[in-house]
């Protein structure tokens, strides 16, 4: 699911504008264990940028380096063109929304929101106006006098957001902002957060382990693994053109099979795949030497079930071994003669009392060459 990033302005393509955040070759190790390795990244003004990865991928460390809670062992961080080396958290034009929310339990909601404004020597009336503005933004005006322990989880999350936005930072860092919410609320809040970001016009950098969240909310995503950034791009690019096998498998579901390059046929490569017991044809522009070991990734929804008589490229036959009915779609596991299981997703367009395929049924799978991605890494 993508927000249709292609229709939006793409500040990261405009080379004439300096990025708001520039991360240059940043590395950070804890007790000799590398948490962040040679990360370079530009984030532009107005972006909703997401660092996505499994736990331990270094995404939170990178966020804390930006906030100033961790220093970088090597490399530079520039925010608004200024080098952040040696700049403590309280002097950075950055605010953070903590995963635990970190609301002050001994203060009311409005005091929490006003906390960051109070040492700025603003007139009292202005502080009050700003607090009201923020509480209206997150629809919590009625709860101004409550303390955090008198709020629900979702309300606390919104107080944390209001507090971190109150100072109008250049950059807001969000550490797993939705992780503590239950599923239904999380999905609603995803869109609310995007709307708020567009309204306030502040650049967001979010950390999440949830790839759906990253896909739904972000203008661009950076996929991290073992401290490195594997790929940066808009959600659609990450999904449709994953750069590595890890990205293909981490973002969305994918069937990834090994193979060796046989030859080039026009704009496609012919790949002999032992696990499939067949030659696969996949569109790939870059040159890959003959006999190179590659992987082919095919998304489950791009595979069709066709009649056995239907001939063409990329045909595999097998039997249905598992059926998962998810309502809108059904997931089928098809076992090939080689023992490989292929995941196929079919949209349930008609109201059916029985699934179109049953267990043990012999099926033929097919996909066009442009549906598959050749992964050399």
| Closer residue to other proteins, CB minimum distance, 112 or 216 | 112
Q: Which is nearer to other proteins, 104 or 325 (CB)?
A: 104
Q: Taken in order 361, 364, 370, 375, is the CA torsion positive or negative?
A: positive
The three-class DSSP label of residue 367 is coil
Q: In what order do the strands lie in the sheet with 21-30?
A: 33-43, 21-30, 74-79, 82-83
In the complex, minimum distance from the CB of residue 136 to other proteins, in angstroms, rounded to a whole number: 20
Write a three-state SS string for 208-240. Answer: ECCHHHHHHHCCEEEEEECCEEEEEECHHHHHH
Minimum separation from the CB atom of position 293 to other proteins (A): 46
Nearest-approach distance from CB 235 to other proteins, in angstroms: 28
Interatomic CA distance for residues 331 and 347, integer angstroms = 9
Q: CB 35 → other proteins: shortest distance, Å?
A: 17
Nearer to other proteins, 61 or 231 (CB): 61
* CB of 102 vs other proteins, minimal distance in Å: 4
- CA torsion sign, 194 to 196 to 197 to 199? positive
Tell me the closest approach of the beta carbon of residue 77 to other proteins, in angstroms: 15
- Given the complex with other proteins, which of 147 and 345 has the nearer CB atom? 147
How far is 289 from 269, CA to CA, in rounded Å?
10
Site for other proteins, rule CB under 8 A: 67, 69, 88-90, 94-96, 98, 100, 102-106, 115-116, 119-120, 147, 149, 163-164, 167
Report, in angstroms and rounded to the nearest whole number, the Rg of the chain calculated over CA atoms.
Answer: 24
Q: Please identify, using beta-carbon distances, which residue of 138 and 215 lies nearer to other proteins.
A: 138
Cα–Cα distance for residue pair 272/274, rounded to 1 Å:
6
Smaller CB separation from other proteins, 172 or 363: 172
């Amino acid at each position: 699911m993508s927000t249709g990033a292609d229709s939006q302005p793409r500040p990261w393509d405009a080379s004439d504008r300096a990025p708001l955040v520039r991360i240059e070759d940043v590395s950070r190790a804890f007790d000799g264990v590398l948490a962040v390795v040679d990360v370079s990244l530009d984030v532009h003004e107005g972006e909703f940028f997401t660092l996505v990865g499994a736990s331990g991928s270094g995404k939170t460390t990178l966020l804390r380096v930006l906030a100033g809670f961790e220093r970088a062992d090597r490399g530079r961080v520039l925010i608004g063109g200024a080098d952040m080396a040696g700049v403590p958290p309280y002097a950075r034009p950055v605010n953070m929304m903590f995963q635990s929310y970190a609301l002050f339990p001994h203060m009311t909601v409005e005091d929490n929101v006003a906390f960051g404004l109070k040492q700025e020597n603003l007139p009292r009336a202005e502080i009050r106006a700003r607090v009201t503005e923020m509480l209206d933004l997150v629809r919590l005006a009625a709860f101004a006098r409550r303390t955090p322990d008198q709020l629900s989880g979702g309300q606390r999350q919104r107080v944390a957001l209001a507090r971190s936005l109150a100072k109008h930072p250049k950059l807001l860092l969000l550490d797993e902002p939705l992780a503590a919410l239950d599923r239904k609320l999380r999905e609603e809040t995803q869109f609310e957060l995007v709307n708020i970001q567009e309204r306030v016009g502040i650049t967001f950098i979010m950390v999440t382990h949830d790839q759906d969240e990253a896909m739904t909310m972000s203008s661009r995503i950076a996929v991290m693994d073992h401290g490195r950034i594997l790929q940066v791009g808009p959600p659609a690019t990450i999904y449709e053109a994953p750069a590595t096998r890890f990205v293909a498998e981490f973002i969305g579901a994918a069937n990834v099979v090994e193979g060796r390059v046989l030859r080039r046929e026009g704009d496609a490569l012919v790949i002999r795949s032992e696990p499939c017991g067949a030659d696969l044809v996949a569109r790939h522009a870059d040159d890959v030497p003959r006999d190179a070991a590659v992987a082919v990734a095919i998304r489950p929804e791009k595979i069709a079930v066709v009649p056995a008589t239907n001939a063409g490229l990329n045909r595999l036959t097998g039997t249905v071994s598992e059926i998962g009915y998810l309502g809108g779609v059904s997931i089928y596991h098809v076992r090939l003669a080689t023992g490989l299981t292929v995941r196929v997703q079919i949209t349930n367009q008609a109201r059916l009392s029985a699934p179109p395929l049953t267990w043990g049924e012999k099926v033929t799978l097919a996909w066009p060459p442009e549906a598959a991605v050749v992964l050399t890494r």
